[in-house]
Amino acid sequence: MKDLFGNDMEYKEPPKYKSEAFPKENPMVVAFGEHWEPDTKCKTCANLWEKKLVHTYYKCKLRAYSSGKHTDHKKNWTACSKYVKSTTPL
């Protein structure tokens, strides 16, 4: 392949988009294990908070925070062992 000036240049493949950037399971469960009570969900945890913009994004206080989707948290994930029951669930 030649550039604009007629010089030979090496073609490099553009980086591929990673479609699986969002984790399939709760990263907190991977790190700390599941909550001892069966069927406990993150939506009733006091550590879950919501960030409202055009859409609502859920975040966990115990995870690192960024404005990207990599730190988004799903409400219906199985709760981890750091679960604290909330008085006002989301």
Over residues 8-26, the pLDDT tens digits come to 767 665 555 555 556 778 8
Interval 69-84 mean pLDDT: 90
Q: What confidence category does residue 1 fall into, taking pLDDT thresholds of 50, 70 and 90?
A: low
Q: pLDDT tens digits, residue range 15-60? A: 555 555 567 788 888 888 899 988 899 999 999 999 999 999 999 9
Question: What are residue 69's phi and psi, to 5 degrees?
Answer: -75, -10
At 21 the pLDDT is 59
